[in-house]
Amino acid sequence: QMRPDGTAIDENPAPDAEEYFATALFFASHRWGNGKGIYDYRKEALGLLDAMKNRKAIAGAVNANKRKTTLHALFNPEHKMVRFTPDADNFAKNGDHTDPSYHLPAFYELWAAWGPEADRAFWADAAKVSRDFFVKTTHPKTGLAPDYANFDGTPKAASWDAGTANFRYDAFRTA
């Protein structure tokens, strides 16, 4: 996330981007095959999926060395859901939670078929969990999702903006 002048607001990933990157790499592999190095699309996709799910916590400085934090994997292993952020500092302030617009169960089904063999059952479960989550987190009459939600589907008001419990900017992307 960047300011208009090009300086970083936050150097941490938005997990939905990695979801799209991994899937695009698999599509490239199936369309054009795999080459060497960065052109081995399947290898790159597998590496990205492994890091998204299995990366051990790493500690260090972010935001141009202005803040130290610990970053976790992009998926919560207990809930089998994508996290809003891997940043432990955010967990301390807001609890570990998710963003409904980051849930891409159709991608998870592809990853269950094409991803690392050791993680295929996890991705199949994640697809089902995400589809069930949509029913829990969307409003029963409007079908609209909140910007952020707890893993149980209840709306999540972030410490910096209580409006995140409502249908707003991120929620427009909920598939």
CA nearest neighbour of 175 among 129, 143, 149, 151:
143
pLDDT score of 73: 96
pLDDT score of 12: 82
Domain assignment present for 1: no
Of residues 10 and 121, more confidently modeled = 121
Domain assignment present for 2: no
Domain assignment present for 93: yes
pLDDT tens digits along 135-170: 999 999 999 999 999 999 999 999 999 999 999 999
Least confident span in 18-22, 57-61, 75-79: 57-61
Q: Above 80 in pLDDT, residue 10?
A: no
Domain assignment present for 41: yes
Domain assignment present for 5: no
Q: Above 90 in pLDDT, residue 88?
A: yes
Region 51-78: mean pLDDT is 90
Q: Above 80 in pLDDT, residue 65?
A: no
Domain count, the chain: 1
Residue whose token pair is 């080459």:
35
Domain assignment present for 80: yes
Q: How far apart are the first and last CA of the chain?
A: 22
Domain assignment present for 28: yes
pLDDT score of 51: 96
pLDDT category of residue 124 using cuts at 50, 70 and 90: very high
Q: Above 90 in pLDDT, residue 67?
A: no
User: Which region holds residue 143: left if phi is over 0, alpha if psi is between -120 and 50, else beta?
Assistant: left
pLDDT score of 106: 98
Q: What is the mean pLDDT of the chain?
A: 94
Domain assignment present for 4: no
Q: What is the DSSP string of 42-72?
A: HHHHHHHHHHHHHPPPEEEEETTTTEEEEE-
Region 25-49: mean pLDDT is 97
- We report the CATH number of the domain holding residue 163 as 1.50.10.10
Q: Above 80 in pLDDT, residue 122?
A: yes
pLDDT score of 120: 98
Separation of alpha carbons 87 and 70, rounded Å: 6
Single-letter amino acid code for the residue at 104: L
Residue 147, domain extent: 13-171
- Tell me the CA distances in angstroms from 95 to 17, 47, 59, 138, 156, one per residue in order: 22, 28, 18, 20, 9
Q: How many CB atoms lie within 10 A of CB 174?
A: 19
Q: Quick one: DSSP state of residue 87? A: B
